[in-house]
Amino acid sequence: MIKPFEKPIYVTRPFLPPLEKFCQGLQEIWETRWLTNNGPILQRFTQELCNFFETDNVCLFNNGTLALQIALQGMGISGEVITTPYTFVATTHALFWNKIRPVFVDIEPEYYTLDPEKVEAAITPWTTAILAVHVYGYPCKLNALADIARRHNLKLIYDAAHAFGVKVGIKSIAHFGDLGMFSFHATKLFHSLEGGMLIFQEAGLKGIFDYLKNFGFKNEVEVVMPGTNAKMNEMQALMGIQVLKYLEEIIHKRAMITNLYRQHLKEVPGIRLVPSLSPDIRYNHAYMPIEVDEQEFGMSRDTLYEKLKEYNVYTRRYFHPLVCDYACYRNVSVNDPLTVARRVADCILTLPIYDGLELSDVEAICEIIQHLQHETLREPIVNFATSRE
């Protein structure tokens, strides 16, 4: 008999820097009383990120959703945008807020990112951009998407909310496409409490994004465009600066967790893991998705999800349902049958992964999963004839 965890194990838990260090930073804020509006800590954080990504084309926001909305608006994207239904709703909401029609196409089955062939087939005279997602931090089919975008003169925008710290060769994932949006939400491996960042190729966009996130103010008396309020504040920037110092440590610990899960789960019948990533990809271990094959595993994904709760293990069914199945998008016509996305959304489960998760806890979670499977397989098969007697 395996005992449940004494305390709940959630799918993620935010990293926190040492409290004394954060308090030292707060002291500076208390002294300056500069809480928001492009304060000194935000300026420092921006500079650190410019150094980190080796570009000046960085703009920070109070969250990733507004960053993406502003990106689309500032780049003048309109008409139709080809995108994935296998993502967090904010990807599509950013299109909606810009009155852009989302054209949902299917994902590829290995890493769940947009299928380039489906993208190409969905292009119409109204298509202006591709909005792809590095879902779970797995890089999209970068070359194929870039090639399509170039041939059809489309903007290529990446929702890289999950992909902070990912590299392809020596190049950060931020430098692919025309623009990438990163979320610094507390649930992400790198965070600033809440926050968002745009990194882009065209330097001229910076001024536009800066106006749009600050009501369109050029100076005290001139408003040059109808902007919104999407500024990052000093507390967020302080957290960001402090968490950034630990990025390598955080990714290293997560990598150990991924390896351990893979080692324990690779031979469990009915559990599918994503294939090993190509060696030139430096993954950030943002998520730990598994597919549960009901027939082979002996239990559906939803039953496993519920049973794990009985052991105090709280997994998530990211990304189920598909965005196009939410009530607010049901009237968007979808021509692609979304065969892969539908299958994956029905069997995916993301397991707990965060830097503070003990390796012994990872082993225990794997043991519980195997135990649940054995228990199910041992359950007597009810013989219909005898059960009626």
Q: Which amino acid is at 260?
A: L
Q: Return the amino acid letter for 33.
A: R
Minimum Å gap between C-beta 196 and ligand PLP is 5
Tell me which of 46, 57, 98, 183 binds ligand PLP, using CB under 6 A: 183
Nearest to 202 by CA among 184, 180, 173, 171: 180
Tell me how far CA of residue 195 lies from CA of 199, 236, 297, 334, in angstroms.
Answer: 14, 7, 39, 32
Kindly state whether residue 86 participates in binding ligand PLP, applying the rule CB under 6 A. no
Residue 223 vs residues 67, 76, 77, 232: alpha-carbon distances, Å: 20, 19, 22, 20
Would you count residue 133 as binding ligand PLP (CB under 6 A)?
A: yes
Q: Which is nearer to ligand PLP, 34 or 96 (CB)?
A: 96
Q: How many residues bind ligand PLP (CB under 6 A)?
A: 14
Asked whether position 64 contacts ligand PLP by CB under 6 A, the answer is: yes
Among residue numbers 351 through 380, which ones bind ligand PLP (CB under 6 A)? Answer: none
Rounded distance between C-alpha atoms, residue 161 and residue 210, angstroms: 20
Residue 106 binding ligand PLP, by CB under 6 A: no
From candidates 118, 155, 185, 213, binder to ligand PLP by CB under 6 A? 185
63 binds ligand PLP (CB under 6 A): yes
Residue 204's nearest CA partner among 100, 91, 76 is 76
With contacts defined by CB under 6 A, name the span among 39-47, 63-71, 216-224, 251-259 that binds ligand PLP: 63-71
When asked if residue 65 is in the footprint of ligand PLP (CB under 6 A), the reply is: yes
Burial label for 101, CB within 10 Å (0-12, 13-18, 19+), is middle
The contact pattern for ligand PLP, residues 296-335, with x = CB under 6 A and - = no contact, is ----------------------------------------
Q: 140 vs 271, which CB is nearer to ligand PLP?
A: 140
Cβ proximity to ligand PLP, 66 vs 372, nearer residue: 66
**Nearest-angstrom CA–CA distance, 84 and 130:** 9
Among the listed residues 80, 106, 159, 178, the single contact to ligand PLP using CB under 6 A: 159
Closest-CB residue for ligand PLP? 64
CB of 156 to ligand PLP, least distance (A): 16
Cα–Cα separations (whole angstroms), residue 99 to 66, 93, 196, 350: 15, 10, 21, 32
Question: What is the x/- site pattern for ligand PLP, positions 195-234, by CB under 6 A?
Answer: -x--------------------------------------
Rounded to whole angstroms, what are the CA distances from 243 to 21, 110, 284, 319? 11, 31, 15, 27
Rounded to the nearest whole angstrom, what is the least distance from the CB of residue 150 to ligand PLP in the complex?
Answer: 24
Residue closer to ligand PLP, measured from CB, 88 or 200: 88
When the beta carbons of 118 and 185 are compared against ligand PLP, the nearer one is 185
Q: Say whether residue 348 binds ligand PLP (CB under 6 A).
A: no
Vertex 379 angle, CA 375 and 382, to 5°: 165
Residue from 12, 57, 87, 192 touching ligand PLP (CB under 6 A): that is 87
Closer residue to ligand PLP, CB minimum distance, 46 or 63: 63
Find the largest Cα–Cα distance for the chain. Answer: 87
Contact 265, 366 (CB under 8 A): yes
Q: Which is closer to ligand PLP, CB of 172 or CB of 183?
A: 183
Closer CB to ligand PLP, residue 88 or residue 246? 88
Q: Burial of 129 by CB count in 10 Å (0-12 exposed, 13-18 middle, 19+ buried)?
A: buried
Q: Which two tokens stand for residue 351?
A: 């397991």
Q: How far is the CB of 90 from ligand PLP (least distance, A)?
A: 4
Q: In the chain, which ranges are continuous DSSP H helix?
A: 19-32, 40-53, 64-74, 90-96, 116-121, 142-152, 205-213, 234-244, 247-265, 294-297, 301-310, 339-347, 359-378, 384-387
Residue 161 near ligand PLP by CB under 6 A: yes
**162, 286 in Cβ contact below 8 A?**
yes
With left for phi above 0 and alpha for psi between -120 and 50, is residue 31 left, alpha or beta? Answer: alpha
Residues in contact with ligand PLP by the rule CB under 6 A = 63-65, 87-88, 90-91, 133, 159, 161-162, 183, 185, 196
